[in-house]
């Protein structure tokens, strides 16, 4: 009886470890953002998020600003046409996208985290 109980507990422990390891995948949210001329958008992060991948799908440059506490600018960069970048945003509270030209722009973005991701997106905040 003890052997059967011990084997059952070993199998249950092994199964629990495998299930836990399998559930530790990365959470990913992917979307496209279309901005008309002189429009902006703000992506507010409600939980810590590890990284954001940005791909500028058009030839129009887009200004990207990463904001920290109290909307302090952590990073301010210009993403030129057809460029891509990965930003570490673990301490960020928001990301702003600004189209400073008259032409429409398209930015593809992907959020990555090992935890849940909570955000809101506002156009022309």
Beta bridge partners of 85: 54
pLDDT > 70: what percent of the chain?
A: 81
pLDDT tens digits, residue range 61-106? 999 999 999 999 999 999 999 999 999 999 999 999 999 999 999 9
CA dist 52 and 67 (Å) reads: 13
Distance of CA 99 to the CA centre of its chain: 20
Residue spans per domain, the chain:
26-123
CA dist 25 and 6 (Å) reads: 31
pLDDT tens digits, residue range 102-122? 999 999 999 999 989 999 999
> Which has the higher per-residue pLDDT, 42 or 7?
42
pLDDT at residue 18 is higher than 60: no
What is the residue-averaged pLDDT of the chain?
87
Domain covering 26-123 assigned CATH 2.90.10.10 in the classification: no
Give 25's pLDDT tier (boundaries 50, 70, 90).
confident
């Amino acid at each position: 009886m003890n052997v059967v109980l011990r084997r059952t507990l070993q199998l249950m422990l092994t199964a629990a470890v495998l299930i836990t390891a399998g559930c530790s995948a990365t959470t990913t949210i992917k979307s496209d953002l279309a901005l008309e001329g002189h429009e902006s958008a703000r992506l507010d992060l409600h939980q810590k998020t590890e990284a954001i991948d940005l791909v500028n799908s058009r030839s129009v440059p887009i200004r990207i600003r990463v904001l920290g506490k109290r909307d302090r600018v952590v990073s301010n960069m210009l993403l030129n046409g057809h460029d891509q970048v990965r930003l570490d945003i673990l301490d960020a509270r928001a990301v702003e996208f600004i189209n400073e030209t008259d032409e429409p722009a398209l930015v593809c973005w992907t959020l990555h985290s090992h935890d849940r991701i909570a955000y809101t997106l506002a156009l022309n905040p």
